[in-house]
Amino acid sequence: MKLQSSQKNAELLKNLYIGTMKKKPLLITILCLVVAFICLFFFVKAKYFRKADTNEITQFVKSFGAQLGSGNMDSLSNYFAESKSPKVALLLKVLTGQTALNGKAHPLFKLDLGVDNANILYANPDISVVKVPVIFSADKTDAGNSSITFSIMRIADHQYKFIKVKTDLFIKDYLAYENKIRAQMVPDTAAFKAITLNAFKTAEKLKAKYDSVVWFDHVNGKTYYYVTKGTYNGDTIDSRNFTATYKMGLVNPELQEIIPTNYDLVRNVNGTINGLVEVQKEGKRGLYNLTGKLVVPVSYDQIFPLVNDDNLAVLRNGDDFFYLKSDTTIGEKIAGFSIGDALPKIKFLNHSFILTDSASTNIMEYNSRTDGNALVIPPSFLVDLGLIENIHEFTNPLRKNGEDEGEASASLSIDFKGTKSTDKNWLESAFYSLYDDYVGGRGGLYETRTVVLADKNKNRLMGFSAGAYEGEEEEEGLTSDLCNENEVTALGDSLYEFKTTTEFDQPLLVGEMTIAPNYYYLKVKNGKLEALKSDRVFGCTQFVKLNDNYLKGCYVIDNKAVDRVTPEVLRYMKNEIYASYGYQFKNKKWVDAFTMRFNKYYSDDGKTNVSVDDSLTVIDKYNINWIDQKLKQQAGTLAANN
């Protein structure tokens, strides 16, 4: 009877619900939506709108500031998630006044971290961003100001750590204040060469006509002046795609304006083509001669200077190409021109060279008594191809401010590694290694690998640069010369695989992989190469189905070079696929191997997944199976959870 009664009640409820739906479907739908919205609101509120405890964050920052006074490095380093990082150690030595920014010299001034005036820029229960003022002070010198931005993570209830420190503005301001003090310590005649002192005086006179004089270019003992009208912000030029808030021009040594103040950027005198000056406006390029004549209208997309040719340069305007002749006139459109065929004749791309500003015949420097570096504004096509930024700073032989040269390069060496063509000869690749001999607070020799692709189908040159080191610590030198692989494979019309040797210092389950091939997948976007995003050491497992070609390559494992993938590397490749989705490994050694690369999963407060099968792509699954087959052929396999 009870069962029958329950069935009747269920039937009545069913009939009541259906009947109501038939009579009032709109009302019920609205009620359901309201209930769902309320539930969603409280869920989101509970998950995302928990208020961050700003008082605790403030106290954490103040506690750190108080510890700075003690100078106890062990206590201070415990405030950071990466407590043993050399970068953290250097920052703490600077903040406690133990050293200057270069890590060697004694500081010239006092530094105070204004923790009482810290500003919380962003706060949620887990991560907050705090901007902390920094005050510089020294006897007989006005105080200077800067700031450091800290990202703070809550690692447990009432417990926090610094997980990121943004110091770019601090470093710039520190060096400027340091140079200001150093300049006051010695007379002008001891700090600057006569040509610079004369340029300072002339620049002051030019300010009656221009809003600012930003640079001097000393060419064969004569000085050219880079002048601007409008608000000049030099920081924006550092990026390859900047928006100018001013107009720039050039004044010659006779103080005649040879380039009007109409341009976003005026590059080095003689830098692109001898006797000419390259200018840029809204992405278009042109050339002036040193008498002030516009010889190439500012309407071309690229200018490629030539060597060993009857012409000075190739000019590209859209899909059309023109020669700039030796008499600086522009020829007719070139029929059937191939940029790939011209690659061996393009200046800087067909040989190795060293870029520096130490030669007294041509030195460009800032119109600043405190910013002592020399600089190079390289030809725009080198910037387009990723070989160098819009501005590269060098040590300046015209400034005599002592041994500390600040943050700059002694030289930039571009080492041409040769070219390779595809079987069908429609794609040619040129390879370069850039060695930046850097001095200052982060001194060292830094290497970058660059590939320039000559796509003869699209008739374009495109470039891509990647660091040769992707280890956890600060790079200390060049990648080992035991391996030197560079190769490009076309995977389609607009997708390329760039394989290059990289230093990883990556722990394996057994041993350490120091050197390995790094795979970048480059797509063409707006005529430029962009790398598809991947957090994996072996990006090939993410974008392509592996074959036996991926077993070949130069590796250095436990300081021994091998010419193909080992079983240990295969196991790493397989488990890296799982790790990229936050798989919950049973073996702690795998967790340790992937912690730095996939920190969001394997940090102390990260969340891992018992299964990631639903996340694996078709390519992931294929590659896991392929790796398993290769491991079986080598007498053994390794499950992902081992």
What would you report as the CA-atom Rg of the chain, rounded to the nearest whole angstrom?
31
Domain that holds residue 281: 196-335+343-355
Whether residue 88 sits in one domain with residue 29: no
Please tell me the predicted confidence (pLDDT) of residue 20.
Answer: 32
Among 325-329, 344-348, 371-375, the range of highest mean pLDDT: 325-329
β-pair type (294-300, 110-113): unpaired
Whether residue 201 sits in one domain with residue 179: no
Mean per-residue pLDDT for 58-75? 91
CATH code where residue 131 lies: 3.10.450.100
Q: Is residue 492 in some structural domain?
A: no
Q: Is residue 482 in some structural domain?
A: no
Please tell me the predicted confidence (pLDDT) of residue 479.
Answer: 53
Mean per-residue pLDDT for 200-208? 96
In the block, residue with structure tokens 């995302």: 48
Whether residue 121 sits in one domain with residue 176: yes
Q: For helices 25-48 and 2-23, what crossing angle results, to 10°?
A: 100
Please tell me the predicted confidence (pLDDT) of residue 286.
Answer: 98
Cα separations (Å) of 394 from 199, 241, 439, 579? Answer: 19, 22, 9, 42
Mean per-residue pLDDT for 184-210? 89
Nearest to 572 by CA among 499, 497, 635, 516: 516
CA 405 to chain centre: 23
Please tell me the predicted confidence (pLDDT) of residue 441.
Answer: 54
Q: Is residue 518 in some structural domain?
A: no
Residue with the bigger pLDDT between 104 and 633: it is: 633
CA 40 to chain centre: 39
pLDDT tens-place string over residues 82-91: 888 888 999 9
Average pLDDT, the chain: 84
Mean per-residue pLDDT for 114-128? 86
DSSP characters over 51-67: PP-HHHHHHHHHHHHHH
Whether residue 221 sits in one domain with residue 74: no
Lowest average pLDDT, out of 21-35, 134-148, 267-281, 487-501, goes to 21-35
Whether residue 271 sits in one domain with residue 133: no
Whether residue 268 sits in one domain with residue 347: yes
Query: Could you tell me how many residues make up the chain?
Result: 642
> Taken in order 494, 497, 502, 507, is the CA torsion positive or negative?
positive
pLDDT tens-place string over residues 484-509: 889 999 998 889 999 999 988 888 88
Nearest to 433 by CA among 418, 411, 455: 418
pLDDT tens-place string over residues 543-577: 999 999 999 999 999 989 999 999 999 999 999 99
Residue with the bigger pLDDT between 355 and 490: it is: 490
Distance of alpha carbon 74 from alpha carbon 70, whole angstroms: 11
Whether residue 156 sits in one domain with residue 204: no
In which band, very low, low, confident or very high, does the pLDDT at 483 lie, cut at 50, 70 and 90?
A: confident
Whether residue 44 sits in one domain with residue 62: no
Burial class of residue 595 (count of CB atoms within 10 Å of its CB; 0-12, 13-18, 19+): middle
- Segment (H or E) for 631: helix 618-633
Q: Is residue 584 in some structural domain?
A: no
Please tell me the predicted confidence (pLDDT) of residue 493.
Answer: 83
pLDDT exceeds cutoff 50 at 323: yes
Q: Based on the structure, what is the number of domains in the chain? A: 3
DSSP characters over 142-203: EEEEEEEEEEEEEEETTEEEEEEEE-HHHHHHHHHHHHHHHHHHS-HHHHB-HHHHHHHHHH
434 φ/ψ angles, rounded to the nearest 5 degrees: -105, 125
Q: Is residue 559 in some structural domain?
A: no
Whether residue 151 sits in one domain with residue 90: yes
Please tell me the predicted confidence (pLDDT) of residue 634.
Answer: 73
pLDDT tens-place string over residues 415-473: 898 888 876 678 889 998 888 887 765 556 778 899 999 998 899 999 999 988 876 54
Distance of alpha carbon 157 from alpha carbon 480, whole angstroms: 45
β-pair type (294-300, 408-421): unpaired
What's the whole-model pTM score?
Answer: 0.72
Please tell me the predicted confidence (pLDDT) of residue 442.
Answer: 54
Please tell me the predicted confidence (pLDDT) of residue 403.
Answer: 42
Residue with the bigger pLDDT between 232 and 185: it is: 232
Whether residue 214 sits in one domain with residue 74: no
Q: Is residue 485 in some structural domain?
A: no
Whether residue 169 sits in one domain with residue 200: no
Please tell me the predicted confidence (pLDDT) of residue 4.
Answer: 38
